[in-house]
Chain A
Amino acid sequence: MNLPTPEQLIDRLVEQLAPVLGPESPPNLALVGMHTGGVWVMEALVQRLGLQAVPSGVIDTSFYRDDYAQRGLHGDVKPSRIPFEVEGRDILLIDDVLNTGRSVRAAINLLFDYGRPASIRLAVLVDRGGRELPLCVDFTGIRLDQPQVSRIDLLRDETGRLTLEATEKP
């Protein structure tokens, strides 16, 4: 199947986010990217929107996942680093692909263990639908309803170029 390029989707996210985050971004704003793809999307947004001065952190939700009892610990857990006070922050949570919403649930629980944010909004490159929890997304690159696709992954090569890869159901 033909997928849009990540650059096109980041353009669309930038259009939506610029009025909200631009030069007049809220003083309590902080960015949080979800390992691994969400961190790449966050880095691209920081570049495009000139958000270098905004505090940012990275999280891995493996320790908060709801499938630990069935599947065990993820083999490649990355350290979470939140180098700012979460208490009272307006947080923009960033991920690459949104599907069931279970990772976002885990991310919200993790963030609350750092403190009580004023708000959390969610930006994703691709919204695949298929939610299993009552969660909505605030900023989206594209909404893709592709029942024949089992997963969509964001990949990054050595040069830093991003691509989307779809795996079709067998």
Chain B
Amino acid sequence: MNEQLTEDGRLKHLLTLDGLPARILTQILDTAESFLTVGDKEVKKVPLLRGKAIFNVFFENSTRTRTTFEIAAKRLSADVVNLNIGTSSQSKGETLLDTVANLSAMQADMFVVRHSAAGAAHLIARHVAPHIRVVNAGDGRAAHPTQGLLDMFTLRRFKGGFHTLRVAVVGDVLHSRVARSQIHALTTLGCPEVRVVAPKTLLPRDVESMGVHVFHKMEEGLRDVDAVLMLRLQNERMQGARLPSAGEYYKRWGLTPEKLKFAKPDAIVLHPGPMNRGVEIDSAVADGVQAVILPQVTFGIAVRMAVMSMLAGGQ
């Protein structure tokens, strides 16, 4: 029994893409497609979540993700409350579940949760009242499902589908919840060849069990791919000397125009942001014609509207 689904097979919480059926992923992408045109209207809102209170509960900072969730919720006409817990209750010693119980007492209908500990959103989902919905906005190294979904949306928009795609996920896979969500989504949606390209020290030991092909050289890993999914080098999660230096990393693993030439000529480049220019990605690529990094941000709003509207209705 998947704790993310209702008994009749509808999405209840969005915690991870691991184990979600292709039918649900496709439904989210299709619904997001319809939310994209909502931005064409003079009034860029729809009334679906009128009267619902959505709490963005961020135990770890993230301006961009929190902002896109906030915009998505506001375009659905929900009331949004932003809480940066890292700077308040937790520092006073309150437990995670106490914080959530207090926010539930303020009549929350949905929690959007970011936490540095893997499984935080799952824990909250197991303890909230039955009518409350939980969206994982990133938990530790485990999952960042809405980022994975918006990357799938971007791939489908620019490449038409998944069944003939060769995709490379490049960089700090070890620390990346984004990579895990991308790999689960790609394999579920039928992408026949998912590669990871990274130094040995930035790969989890069990990575091959996720159904990916491992490469340690950029020129081999990028050869003839349709899309390059760059990851951010997570300096803040880096403990111990896994890498020689940022300059050395750029030389071997940074995506430069020269290295991008190994990919197909029409390959697209994605990055979840924020970018470390001159470390994992060269400015000429980040600002180049093959980059779809800014469309990703726009699509992220539509994808989050789709997720929140699928969770909140029909109770």
> Which residue numbers of A lie inside 8 Å of B, CB to CB?
60, 62-64, 68-73, 75-82, 86, 109, 112-115
Rounded to whole angstroms, the CA-CA distance of A70 and B309 in the bound complex is 13
Contact between A63 and B38, CB atoms less than 8 A apart = yes
Give the CA-CA distance A160 to B180 in the complex, in Å: 44
Tell me, in angstroms, the Cα distance from A78 to B315 when the chains sit together: 23
Measured in the bound complex, the distance between the Cα atoms of B312 and A71 in whole Å is: 10
Bound CA–CA A76/B35 (angstroms) = 12
Q: A82, B34: Cβ atoms under 8 Å?
A: no
How many Å from the CB of B134 to the closest CB on chain A?
17
Besides A75-B27, A77-B31, A79-B37, 14 more A-B contacts (Cβ < 8 Å) are A63-B35, A63-B48, A64-B46, A68-B48, A68-B314, A71-B314, A72-B310, A72-B313, A76-B30, A77-B34, A81-B37, A81-B40, A113-B45, A114-B40
Most buried by B among A63, A71, A113: A63
A71 touches B34 (CB 8 A): no
B101 within 8 A of A: no
Which residues from B are CB-within-8-Å of A77? 30-31, 34
A73 touching B45 by the CB < 8 A rule?
no
Binary contact readout B36-52 vs A (1 if CB under 8 angstroms, 0 otherwise): 11101111011110000
On chain B, the residues within 8 Å of A70 by CB distance are 314
* B-side contacts of A86, CB under 8 Å: 42
Proximity string of chain B (7-35) to chain A, C-beta cutoff 8 Å, 1 when within and 0 when not: 00010000000000000000100110111
Partner of B42, one of A60, A63, A79, A115: A115
* B34–A79 CB distance below 8 A: yes
On whether the beta carbons of A60 and B43 are closer than 8 Å, the reply is no
- Bound together, the chains give a CA A53 to CA B265 distance in angstroms of 40
| Contacting pair B47 A79 (CB below 8 A) | no
B43 partner, pick from A71, A78, A81, A113, beta carbons under 8 A: A113
Q: Chain B 178-215, CB within 8 Å of chain A: the 1/0 string? A: 00000000000000000000000000000000000000
A–B Cβ pairs within 8 angstroms, 20 of them: A63-B38, A63-B47, A63-B48, A64-B47, A69-B313, A71-B314, A72-B10, A72-B310, A73-B31, A73-B309, A73-B314, A76-B30, A77-B30, A77-B34, A79-B33, A79-B36, A80-B34, A82-B40, A82-B41, A113-B46
In the complex, A81→B39 CA distance in Å? Answer: 11
Q: What residue in chain B is nearest A69 (Cβ atoms)?
A: B313
Chain A residues closer than 8 Å to B35, beta-carbon distance:
63
B313–A68 contact, CB under 8 A? yes
Instruction: Kindly state the separation between the CA atoms of A2 and B147 in the bound complex, as whole angstroms.
Output: 52
In the bound complex, what is the Cα–Cα distance between A114 and B41 (angstroms)? Answer: 5
Contacts of A69 in B (CB 8 A): 313-315
Closest 8 CB pairs of A and B: A72-B314, A72-B313, A63-B46, A113-B43, A77-B34, A68-B313, A79-B37, A79-B34
